[in-house]
Amino acid sequence: MKNVVTVKEQLTSGTNRRSFLKISGLTMAATGLILTGCSDDDDSTIVDQKLPGQRNGKFDLGGGDFGVLTYAYALEQLEADFYTKVVNLGNFGSLFNATEQQVLTDLYHHEVIHREFFKTALTNALPNPSTQLLPNLEFDFSTVNFNSRTSILGTAQALEDTGVGAYNGAGSLITNPDYLLLAGKIVSVEARHASAIRSLINPNSADFAGDDIVSGTTGLDTAKSPSQVIPVAGGFITTEFTAIYLP
């Protein structure tokens, strides 16, 4: 990579305190998910879940808790790939000032960590990860003008707003309280991402918590079902998959 230190380099360098804390938090969170995913109590219910895997020639995200986690993994792959492209642009330094570069680089690190967290956790929790783990997805960002600050930040806003709505909408589908706790922690970070991007687009405004994403009645972020989110996110995903067991 040209402009940033990779997550692998952070893991091996041991010199960056903030990065160390990020990775440590990932390890602890993944451990919790691995342990709950492999507990004996799951054996009686795992057959009843529509596990992720190939169905009718396409990968299906599945249903139940594993389906929701796989759905989240797909979205994190999308966000991580987008920010990886952004921070490695040859014109990254000319498009964005130093503060904006720092924000976008932080978001890149967060999303890569989220992606790797879900990959590690699902690999250890799924009964047969060799066939049930969502493969690495392919993406098409040809609609994004990577020479335009406006286009890049507009896409980032759409991805972050969609991600927050996706996590909020998926919360009611999760039955395992440990999984729900972890999803809640991640969506709190995603909400900060959404606010940060909105503030970059329109500084010193109320857009960081705009009426289009925060309900004036409940004071809560919007929630979107998988069937509402997947068509939006799917516009960037070229790998075909299905979600027949998610509402």
- Which pLDDT value is given to residue 20? 34
Residue keyed to tokens 């759905």: 71
Residue 219 lies in a domain: yes
- Which pLDDT value is given to residue 99? 94
Residue 5 lies in a domain: no
The pair of three-digit structure tokens given for residue 95, joined into one six-digit string: 């498009």
Beta strands 58-60; 53-55: pairing state: antiparallel
Residue 64 lies in a domain: yes
- Which pLDDT value is given to residue 42? 45
Using only C-alpha atoms, the chain has a radius of gyration, in whole angstroms, of 18
Residue 42 lies in a domain: no
Residue 27 lies in a domain: yes
Q: Are 245 and 67 in contact (CB under 8 A)?
A: yes
CATH number at residue 57: 1.20.1260.10
Residue 6 lies in a domain: no
- pLDDT tens-digit map of 193-228: 998 999 999 887 655 666 566 656 665 668 899 999
In which residue ranges of the chain is pLDDT below 70? 1-49, 205-221
What range defines the domain where residue 86 resides? 16-37+53-242
- Which pLDDT value is given to residue 14? 37
Most distant CA pair in the chain: distance in Å?
56
Count of structural domains, the chain? 1
